Amino acid sequence: MKYEANKDSISKHEVPEWFHNAKLGIFIHWGLYSVPAFSNTGLDLTESEKRGVEEHFKNNPYAEWYLNTLRISGSTTEKYHHDTYGKDFSYDDFVPMFNEEIKKWNPDEMAETFKKAGAKYIVLVTKHHDGFLLWHSKYPNPNKENYCASRDIVGELSDAVRKKGMIMGHYYSGVLDWSFTPEPIITAKDFLRGSTSPEYIEYATNHWYELIDKYETMILWNDIGYPPTNIYEIFAYFYNKRPDGLINDRWRIYGSSEIKRIPADFITPEYHLYKRIKKMKWETCRGIGNSFGYNKFETEKDYLKPEELIRMFVDIVSKNGNLLLNIGPMADGTIPEPQMKCLLGLGKWLEVNGEAIFGTRPWKKPQSKTMDGIEVRYTQKDNILYAIILDTPKSKEITIQKLSIEENSTIQLIGYDKELKWTQTEEDLKIELPDDIEEAPAHSFKISS
């Protein structure tokens, strides 16, 4: 259909099948903040926000917020910066350091890692709140000369990702750009002080058109909100060029007295999971650690373990969600070892169990338990039900509670050739397991009828 630049027309866009099928994307936060690579450790987003908004911003666990936290007097970031670089060293002085480091980056190797992890799409942060661009735009920053990467990171990575058969999307910080607004965000009300001047609106909107036309993005992943303009013009232009494209939900229009919500293809909770199946498509984003940008002070205890990641991912998929798993590369593009360990661990599990994940849809209920307390999650595809148990059983049989299947059903443990013997005991399903079942974070039973 032909989309018009209004809410009613845009609202008719449907989530493309590829996004329902994809399940796993990789988010990339990489920029000037990757040079100091500092933020507070030991607190995730939820724990940090419980301490109150002002304490959260002063001790922000997100390394990509380095510039904002640096601007807050008395913050640990301010102390770290002065102790490490000196009081006369500005944030802009990280530009030549970053540009020197990225000479070592190999986009093909990075894309290959994402492929091994099982990712189907990638979302690159092209400009975060600090305003630094990861591409050579026709519309350079009017406030800072050469405030962009020396390599066309957006173009090089987009090409490498597509060569590996994955889909490319792009993130852009809409209403927040600290190269236009020098005051730090300290309170919740400060979010209303976004960049909303006519000059900035033209600047940001030109960037989105550039990402659509030059870099052929398939996902418009805006963050925080957008300055007051007819956003539907961008949406209609995008959908008419890419009917199978997607627009996220973070496009609230900032005005002088109100914030208006905009229709979206999917919602984007952050470091958050749902207890039930969501009717609307959702995509949770989170870091492997507590920060999106690389924080060199995070240790193993701050990172997810591969088994935790796998079980979380299965839970998300069972409830109609996708996981946009973030990596925060070092300044030179190297993926830190704890992050790499998680990526490859997930990829190894998906090599065996991917058919119970990719291309599936939620079942009539997302979860139950075995008789001995192991969590179970469900997905379905065609006439196949997948029951995924989130641990390795200790006995030679399991009983899944409140699961009834048809008499002529066959059950196979994915990764093993033989059909398994099973019996229905009232509303519970008892399954005999193979003798040589290996330890794994989760096992997938394929139930065909």
Kindly tell me the burial class for residue 223, based on how many C-beta atoms sit within 10 Å of its own C-beta (0-12, 13-18, 19 or more): buried
- DSSP bridge partners of 389: 376, 443
Please give the pLDDT value at position 259. 61
C-beta separation of 360 from 120 below 8 A: no
CA distance 56 to 187: 9
Q: What is the C-alpha to C-alpha distance for residues 307 and 313, in angstroms, rounded to an integer?
A: 10
Give the per-residue pLDDT at 399: 98
3-state secondary structure 334-387: CCCHHHHHHHHHHHHHHHHHHHHCCCCEEEEEEEEEECCCCEEEEEEECCEEEE
Other CB atoms within 10 Å distance of the CB of residue 134:
25
Tokens of 2: 């032909």
Task: Please give the full DSSP string across 138-183, using - where no structure is assigned.
Answer: SS--SSSTT-B-SS-HHHHHHHHHHHTT-EEEEEEE-S--TTT--S
Q: What is the pTM of this model?
A: 0.97
CA distance 406 to 160: 46
Q: How far apart are CA 393 and CA 146, in angstroms?
A: 58
Q: Label residue 313 left, alpha or beta by phi (over 0 means left) and psi (-120 to 50 means alpha).
A: alpha
What domains can you pick out in the chain, each with its CATH number?
A: 7-356 (3.20.20.80), 361-448 (2.60.40.1180)
Cα gap 342→275, rounded to integer Å: 24
How many residues are present in the chain?
449
**87 C-beta neighbours (distance < 10 Å), count:** 9
Which H helix or E strand runs over 103?
none
For residue 153, give both structure tokens: 């990171």
Residue 30's SS3 state is coil
DSSP SS3 for 362 = strand
Residues 6+ apart with CB under 8 A from 133: 126, 127, 140, 141, 147, 148, 149, 207
- pLDDT tens sequence for the chain (449 residues): 899 999 999 999 999 999 999 999 999 999 999 999 999 998 777 777 778 888 888 999 999 999 999 999 999 999 999 999 999 999 999 999 999 999 999 999 999 999 999 999 999 999 999 999 999 999 999 999 999 999 999 999 999 999 999 999 999 999 999 999 999 999 988 877 789 999 999 999 999 999 999 999 999 999 999 999 999 999 999 999 999 999 999 999 987 555 677 999 999 999 999 999 999 999 999 999 999 999 999 998 999 999 999 999 999 999 999 999 999 999 999 999 999 999 999 999 999 999 999 999 999 999 999 999 999 999 999 999 999 999 999 999 999 999 999 999 999 999 999 999 999 988 999 999 998 899 999 999 999 98
pLDDT reported for residue 258: 54
Residue 429, helix vs strand vs coil? strand
Residue 328 tokens, joined: 């925060």
